[in-house]
Structure 1
Amino acid sequence: MRSTARALAALGTALVVLLGGGCAPQSPDHTSWTDQARQALEDTASQVATVALLLRLERENKVPGKYQQVVAQDSESAVGATMAKFGGEQPEPRDDATYKRVTSLMSDASDLLSEVRIAIVRRDSDRYPRLLDQLEGLDRDLTDAADGLR
């Protein structure tokens, strides 16, 4: 019985260590964190560019309305997933300013993609030119920030 109790206690300790460790944020080194930041910016820029292309094609009546909604929603969701994953990474103190810049740009992208999705669902095509300009500007900002991390 004592060996069973010890085995259960060891198993319980192992579970606490495993489960507790899963809750702590990741703390990659500077180089790994920078690589992850660059990848997050590139992924976000890709989604922003996709929606910009969608609006350009819509202007030429080349994209059905339901497809526009699906693409806009998928891009918005993808940026949210990227933000959640990257936000769980703990930067070194020297990366704090970069972390703030990266997460700010990603948040701007998420907000803008939400605006675009809402405009598409409402068929508010008068807003598309301004939204397209904003998407193109944000795409440049995201790409420049990613390139700055190389």
Structure 2
Amino acid sequence: MRTPARVLAGLGTALVVILVAACAPQSPDHSSWTDQAHQALEDTASQVATVSLLLRLEREGKVPGKYQQVVAQDSESAVGATMAKFGGEQPEPRDDTTYRRVTGLMSDASDLLSEVRIAIVRRDAAAYPKLLDRLGDVENRLNAAAEDLR
């Protein structure tokens, strides 16, 4: 016969097990992890390309100010989400160097997107040409790293 205390204790134990399992990092195999790294790099490169296009269009006067801010903020947030998701994956020991490279590149891209957002909000158009050059460089590095994972 089950007493209410036993039932509650069993439910409490099950809840703790579920919560601990949900918080544990994922441990995909090498191939799956490499695919996820490749996708994370491509997603990040895509956001960098979007912001680069935004600055080029702004230079031509084709993008309203508030829209620039929204696009820059959305791209920055998307890269943050990609970093959080990928950073929660547990690489195999043989992937440690690649993990550091991928997360480093993504962090560089995130930092740069923050700088671009700040320049856009401040309407610092004089900073755009240099930011465009840096965006192109980061995008090339992200794409090259993604290709290396193929």
TM-score, normalised relative to structure 2: 0.96
Q: Which runs of 5+ in 1 are unaligned?
A: none
Matches of 1:113 and 1:85, distance apart in 2? 18
2: distance between equivalents of 1:142 and 1:98?
13
Q: Counterpart of 2:55? A: 55
- RMSD of the TM alignment (CA)? 1.1
Which has the larger displacement, 45-54 or 2-11? Answer: 2-11
Query: Which residues of 2 match residues 54-93 of structure 1 at below 5 A?
Result: 54-93=54-93
Structure 2 unaligned segments of length 5 or more: list them. none
SS at match of 1:72: helix
Q: Which moved more, 1:122-131 or 1:7-16?
A: 7-16
Measured after TM superposition, the shift of residue 11 of structure 1 is: 1.7
Aligned residues with identical type, % of pairs: 80
Distance in 2 of aligned mates of 1:3 and 1:39: 51
Q: Separation in 1 of the partners of 2:77 and 2:5?
A: 47
Number of residue pairs the alignment of both structures matches: 150
**CA offsets per residue over residues 61-107 of structure 1, 9 Å max, x none?**
11111111110011001101111111111100000000000000000
1:104-119 correspondence runs (5 A) = 104-119=104-119
Deviation of 1:48 after TM superposition, in Å, equals 0.1
TM-superposition CA deviations, 1:99-118 (whole Å, max 9, x none): 00000000000000000001
The residue type equivalent to 1:81 in the other structure is A
* Stretches (4+) displaced over 2 A: 1-10
- CA offset at residue 9 of structure 1? 2.6
Q: Which amino acid in 2 is paired with 1:37?
A: A
Aligned counterparts, 1:1-150, within 5 A: 2-150=2-150
SS in 1 for 2:38: helix
TM-score by length of 1: 0.96
Partner SS state of residue 89, structure 1: coil
